[in-house]
Chain A
């Protein structure tokens, strides 16, 4: 992808067409684990979006000003995962010190995010697409919004599935997967948007 790709194109592409969960299969653990209640889904979505944004900013700076000039791009996996892990720690400590209400809402989700493939995924996608720092930020926000959107839709469906009559062996995860399949099918309709 070249540098002339407009920011709006990147944003819409990440939210609807290349949705993190439904087409890239990233962040499935929180998607199936946290999508049982609407409130949790929103908190998780906000936390992931925040970390994605910060991680993309940090790794884009490192990628453009350290890895490329020194020609050590092959080190990106190790460097990115360390940056993300320390970033999550910093965010957790900062939120705990400054806003205890927000910490209570997001706190338990933050440690889980370190090993969330969506965060490492978005930084790798940005790097492989050759995005500039601004483009990386926009694509991270898009990915986060897309993740939150799908998580909210899924939690709404699952709240209804709880009371639906489902064959015994389909209850829980299997039916969640099948629901996700039809959600993904619906999102494929956005494919011709751009």
Chain B
């Protein structure tokens, strides 16, 4: 960590960015934001939509919270953060409802539940309120993309095993001959989400990417 102080601001931007994707990956390392990671990963489309939504809210709220960090009284900072985040979630959900209704329908209440996603409040508390705007932007992108990648990884397994094919926004990329006729529907149902995430966590630990408990 002592190296961080000596490097240039431009480089620190990339350090914060990469750190969010790998070192502090929200889902697999910090184990935050589990509700959406399980609930919306039944298809790639939903995972992408959710990831984009979280990146938008995280970015906007990180910028605002970083800008007002010096005038926010310490006592009321959590309510302030929550109102800022809730405002952007409302904007997001209105935009989704107006322009991409099918995605809005399939994300359902999980879109509104971005408000209580621990990742966003966690980044506001742990990063944006202590750091200047530029680094907060890098942090938001890093964590947001790390979150999206994790969602995509889980949904990749669930969609391929659960439907026997893989499609993005209506285009079928490939389908597996036997599996697509009799798909293992277990994987797109709720229990499959728990199983896939549990096995992925175990796999990362086995590979030594994550520390054992």
Contacts and interface: CB of A to CB of B under 8 A. Distances in A.
B102 interface: no
Tell me the dominant secondary structure on chain A's binding face: helix
A35 B116 CA distance: 21
A124 B191 contact: no
A149 to B, nearest CB: 16
Contacts of A181: 191-195, 198
Contacts of B203: 169
Contacts of B112: 76-77, 120, 124
A178 to B, nearest CB: 4
Contacts of A22: 190-191
B105 to A, nearest CB: 11
Contact residue range for chain A?
Answer: 35 or more
Tell me the dominant secondary structure on chain B's binding face: helix
Given A28-B34, A75-B90, A116 B195 contact: no
Contact of B82 (A25, A29, A85, A128): A85
27 contacts: A25-B193, A28-B38, A75-B90, A76-B112, A77-B115, A78-B90, A81-B116, A82-B79, A82-B82, A82-B86, A85-B79, A85-B82, A115-B116, A115-B118, A115-B121, A117-B113, A121-B113, A124-B112, A174-B201, A174-B202, A175-B198, A175-B202, A178-B194, A181-B193, A181-B195, A185-B186, A188-B191
Interface of B: 31, 34-35, 38-39, 79, 82-83, 86-87, 89-90, 93-94, 108-109, 112-113, 115-118, 121, 186, 189-195, 197-199, 201-203, 205-206, 212-213
